[in-house]
Amino acid sequence: MSESTVQTIEIDAPPARCFEVAADLEAYPEWAGGVRQVSVHEKDAEDRPVRATLVVDAMIRQVEVTFRYTFDPPRAIRWTAEPGRDILELDGSYEFRELGEGTTAVYMLRVVPGFDIPGFLRSEAEKQIVGTALRALRKRAEGL
């Protein structure tokens, strides 16, 4: 079992706005670094994606991963990857905690790749992915 990477960031926007940005998967290629393409396969009654495939630039190579999503608006979004050639296991989440008029966003990511990569490189890649994603989310949510 691999360890997870967890980071937080403060965002000058309410949790509902952060949730709205993070739940709009189809817009990820516009702002989420490394996401090249999103294909939504299923949506829930609120028109949120519950199953989608993302093509992501994973530094070492591009990977295609299909995820299942669950939503707890406006507090959290969680996802789990379907096992595939590139990813054996992947779990992640955004949590949005009210902070005065803003939000503390918490991103958790745990990845077990389907290809050989030394543990320290995997850990560093996770840290970079999480940090980059949080900064991009803040920029998008704050409307910059």
pTM of the model: 0.91
What CATH number does the domain containing 100 carry? Answer: 3.30.530.20
* Residue 66: domain span: 5-141
Distance CA 117, CA 20 (A): 34
Distance CA 24, CA 137 (A): 11
Number of domains the chain contains: 1
Per DSSP bridges, beta strands 35-43 and 5-11 are: unpaired
Distance CA 25, CA 105 (A): 17
**For 44, phi and psi rounded to 5 degrees?**
-90, -175
User: pLDDT tens track of the chain, all 144 residues?
Assistant: 468 899 999 999 999 999 999 999 999 999 998 899 999 999 999 999 999 999 988 666 788 999 999 999 999 999 999 998 888 999 999 999 999 999 999 999 998 888 777 777 778 878 888 999 999 999 999 996
Record the tokens describing residue 55, joined without a space: 């093509």
